[in-house]
Amino acid sequence: MKVVLIGVGQAGGKVTQALAEFDYDMGFNAVRGALAVNSAEADLQNLDVDTTLIGQDRVKGHGVGGDNELGAQIMQENATEVLDDMDGRITTEAEAVVVVAGLGGGTGSGGAPMLVRELKRIYEMPVYTLGILPGDDEGGLYQANAGRSLKTAIRESDSVLLVDNDAWRGSGDSVAEGYERINDAIAQRIGLLLASGEAVEGVGESSVTSSTSRTGGGPAAASVVDSSEIINTLRSGGISAIGYASAEASEDPGENVNTITSVTRNALLTSMSLPDATDAESALLVIAGDPERLSRKGVERARRWVEDETGSMEVRGGDFPLGSDKIAALVVLSGVERSDRVDQFMQKAKQAARSQGGRTDPEEYSNDDLDSLM
Ligand SMILES: Nc1nc2c(ncn2[C@@H]2O[C@H](COP(=O)(O)OP(=O)(O)OP(=O)(O)O)[C@@H](O)[C@H]2O)c(=O)[nH]1
Ligand SMILES: [Mg+2]
């Protein structure tokens, strides 16, 4: 799936850069444009992607310090400029726009949903949010900000792909090491998902198989994932999550039936970006690996297992041919907002909002809409 990425705020910019780099290093070419937008000048200077500084008149390049209402306001005032900076790429090539942000801060938290709204006004294509939930040990302001931002982003976006900052952190990591590891994990997983919907060229022998099987009707023709399957899986809206696992594969596809089911189990049960999200409205299972090693029977068995596990009648499945001696499973779950993790987070965010003072009325909070955030 060809996308344009727009990172908002510090986390948004760093994750956007990590994704753009992964896509470039792998030769996938799914990322057709990448822009980082921030109100903090220093955080843009460390990035290699295109950048746009916003809100200079208000915060003089110093960021909004966690004030997400100000973040939203600044984005609104600068939306035309940001959209102009993206325009050429979006109209010519992209199949979707992905707005990336940490939901707990200020610039990204307020700015991302506002930018999504502005993009939806102009473009027909899906606009997704790739949102990062603050870890459990982050302070009340982050939790409260993320709660409002998430609710608003769900309303404005075609889907909010959520990554919990606690999901992929290493146990002994410092905060900085933790971010780096999480950003790499996000780049790899989301990067593979985007690339799985592309005819990949230049990544070894298997790329030939990929493009011929699509157009020429080889044995795998019906099963190679394309962009529309990603878009259709996410069509149920709300919150989505992604999981990934891989294992060494045998050269004999018959021996890989169990490998395919076990990587699929691991992806769904132990590595989701939103831990314990298993009930879903729809799902996509992508099995990546050397087509010579993939087993049809294994892929179909794994897909049916995902149906059982998620309780969804709408589980798409397909291959992503790649030159590798490993087999990997990518699982995308869509419509997971009723998961325990989201419930718990929302309770915590409401409590935090109450004790932050200001917007204290929990009823008002639970009914908050874009206008109240903006
Ligand atoms: N995964 C990940 N999360 C990050 C990273 N940097 C910050 N975060 C998280 O993102 C959230 C928001 O932080 P920032 O992105 O720094 O905030 P901002 O959008 O720049 O907002 P202001 O600095 O207030 O203008 C917090 O919950 C952080 O924990 C990162 O590199 N990776
Ligand atoms: Mg910042």
What is the dihedral sign for C-alpha 245, 273, 79, 81? negative
| 54 and 175 inside one domain | yes
| 125 and 21 inside one domain | yes
Residue 205 lies in a domain: no
User: Which residue among 133, 165, 168, 182 has the greatest number of ligand 1 atoms within 8 angstroms of its CB, and so is best to mutate?
Assistant: 165
Q: Fill in the DSSP letter of residue 62.
A: B
Rounded to whole angstroms, the Cα distance separating 167 from 338 reads 18
CA–chain centroid gap for 100, Å, is 8
Give the residue carrying structure tokens 């729809």: 282
Of all protein residues, whose CA lies closest to atom 6 belonging to ligand 1?
11
User: What pLDDT score was predicted for residue 338?
Assistant: 87
Blockwise average pLDDT, block size 10, the chain, 374 residues: 97 98 96 97 96 97 97 97 85 91 98 97 96 94 95 97 93 86 97 85 37 36 81 96 97 96 97 92 96 94 97 94 95 94 90 73 43 52
Report the 10 Å Cβ neighbour count for 6: 33
What is the dihedral sign for C-alpha 265, 270, 272, 278? positive
Strand ranges, E, within the chain: 3-8, 31-38, 50-53, 96-102, 127-133, 159-164, 239-248, 282-289, 315-321, 326-334
Question: Which residues line the pocket of ligand 1, CB cutoff 6 A?
Answer: 9-11, 14-15, 39-40, 63-66, 102, 104-109, 132, 134, 138, 142, 165, 179, 182-183
Nearest Cα to 28, choosing from 6, 4, 1, 7?
A: 1
Looking up residue 315, the CATH number of its domain turns out to be 3.30.1330.20
| 257 and 294 inside one domain | yes
Rounded to whole angstroms, the Cα distance separating 110 from 40 reads 14
Residue 219 lies in a domain: no
Of all protein residues, whose CA lies closest to atom 16 belonging to ligand 1?
10
Residue 231 lies in a domain: no
Nearest Cα to 108, choosing from 51, 170, 66, 56?
A: 66
Token pair in block for residue 210: 């990929």
Residue 31 lies in a domain: yes
Token pair in block for residue 166: 């606690």
| 7 and 151 inside one domain | yes
| 58 and 72 inside one domain | yes
- Structurally, the chain folds into a number of domains equal to 2
Task: Classify each residue of 223-252 as buried b or exposed e, where b means 16 or more C-beta atoms within 10 Å of its C-beta.
Answer: bbbebebbbebbebbbbbbbbbbbbebeee
Report the 10 Å Cβ neighbour count for 180: 15
Token pair in block for residue 158: 């075609």
Token pair in block for residue 222: 């019906």
For 288, the enclosing helix (H) or strand (E) is strand 282-289
Residue 305 lies in a domain: yes
| 259 and 313 inside one domain | yes
Rounded to whole angstroms, the Cα distance separating 245 from 265 reads 9
> What is the SS3 assignment for 54?
coil
| C-beta separation of 346 from 147 below 8 A | yes
| 7 and 154 inside one domain | yes
| 129 and 58 inside one domain | yes
Distance 102 CA to ligand 1 centre (A): 5
DSSP string of 178-223? Answer: HHHHHHHHHHHHHHHHHHHTS---SSSHHHHHHHHHHHH--TTGGG
| 323 and 362 inside one domain | no
CA–chain centroid gap for 258, Å, is 28
User: What pLDDT score was predicted for residue 212?
Assistant: 36
Residue 213 lies in a domain: no
User: What pLDDT score was predicted for residue 357?
Assistant: 66
User: What pLDDT score was predicted for residue 210?
Assistant: 37
Residue 225 lies in a domain: no
Domain that holds residue 307: 236-334
Distance 43 CA to ligand 2 centre (A): 7
Residue 53 lies in a domain: yes
Smallest-distance ligand from the CA of 162: 1
| 43 and 94 inside one domain | yes
User: What pLDDT score was predicted for residue 175?
Assistant: 80
| 52 and 173 inside one domain | yes
| 191 and 240 inside one domain | no
Looking up residue 60, the CATH number of its domain turns out to be 3.40.50.1440
Strand ranges, E, within 109-158: 127-133
